[in-house]
C-alpha cells in the first residue's frame, strides 16, 4: 500500500480534517505520517499515527505584543517559511512517500514541492473560496516583507493552487480527483 506524508501546522482547526483523512487512509491499509509543530504531536500520536516535529521552525520568543506582530511571525516563521521544506525533504530521504498532502497555508513548503519526489496535494481544511483571499493577501504581504528585508521573492506558481473535486469519504474506494 501507499505511504502518505501530511505536512501541517498548528492553526487551530486544520489538524482534525487531516487526521480524519489520514485515519481513513490507515483503515484502508495505507501508512499516513505527519510532519508538523511539536504541539501537534499528542493529537497525532493519540490517533495512532507517526509524527515528526519540525527542526526548522523558529521557537516563539514569547507572546507577540500585538496582533500585527503575531501575523508577521506567522507569515515569516510558518506560512512562508521555505526552510520547513528542508525537514520534509530530509524525512522523505529516509522514508520516501507516494504522495505528500500539504496544508494550504504552508506556502513556503508548497513553493518547493518540485523537490519532494512525490505528487503533492493541497489540503484546504475549510471553505475553499473563503481561503483564497487570505492566501492571496498573505502572499502579497509576505513578498512585501521579503522585499523590505532585501530578500528575493519566491516563485509563487506552486503556491497558487487550484481546486479539484476529490473524494475522501468512506464510500469511495480510492482517492479520486
Q: How confident is the model at residue 29 (pLDDT cuts 50, 70, 90)?
A: very high
Q: Is the pLDDT of residue 140 over 90?
A: no
Q: Residue 128: what pLDDT?
A: 57
Its CATH architecture, for the domain 3-159, is 3-Layer(aba) Sandwich (3.40)
Residue 36 near residue 56 (C-beta atoms within 8 A): no
Nearest-CA neighbor of 64 among 55, 56, 74? 74
Averaged confidence pLDDT in the chain: 81
H/E stretch holding 100: strand 99-103
Average pLDDT (14-22) is 92
Q: What is the domain partition of the chain in residue ranges?
A: 3-159
Amino acid at each position: 500500500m501507499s505511504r502518505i506524508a501530511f505536512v501541517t501546522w498548528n492553526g487551530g482547526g486544520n489538524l482534525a480534517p487531516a487526521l480524519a483523512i489520514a485515519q481513513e487512509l490507515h483503515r484502508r491499509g495505507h501508512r499516513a505520517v505527519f510532519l508538523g509543530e511539536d504541539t501537534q504531536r499528542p493529537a497525532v500520536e493519540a490517533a495512532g499515527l507517526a509524527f515528526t516535529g519540525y527542526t526548522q521552525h523558529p521557537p516563539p520568543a514569547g507572546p507577540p505584543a500585538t496582533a500585527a506582530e503575531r501575523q508577521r511571525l506567522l507569515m515569516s516563521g510558518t506560512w512562508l517559511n521555505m526552510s520547513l521544506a528542508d525537514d520534509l525533504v530530509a524525512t522523505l530521504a529516509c522514508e520516501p512517500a507516494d504522495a505528500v498532502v500539504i496544508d494550504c497555508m504552508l506556502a513556503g513548503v508548497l513553493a518547493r514541492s518540485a523537490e519532494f519526489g512525490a505528487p503533492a496535494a493541497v489540503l484546504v481544511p475549510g471553505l475553499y473560496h473563503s481561503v483564497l483571499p487570505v492566501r492571496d493577501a498573505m502572499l502579497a504581504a509576505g513578498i512585501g516583507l521579503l522585499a523590505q528585508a532585501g530578500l528575493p521573492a519566491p516563485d509563487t506558481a506552486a503556491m497558487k493552487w487550484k481546486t479539484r473535486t476529490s473524494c475522501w469519504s468512506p464510500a469511495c474506494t480510492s482517492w479520486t480527483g
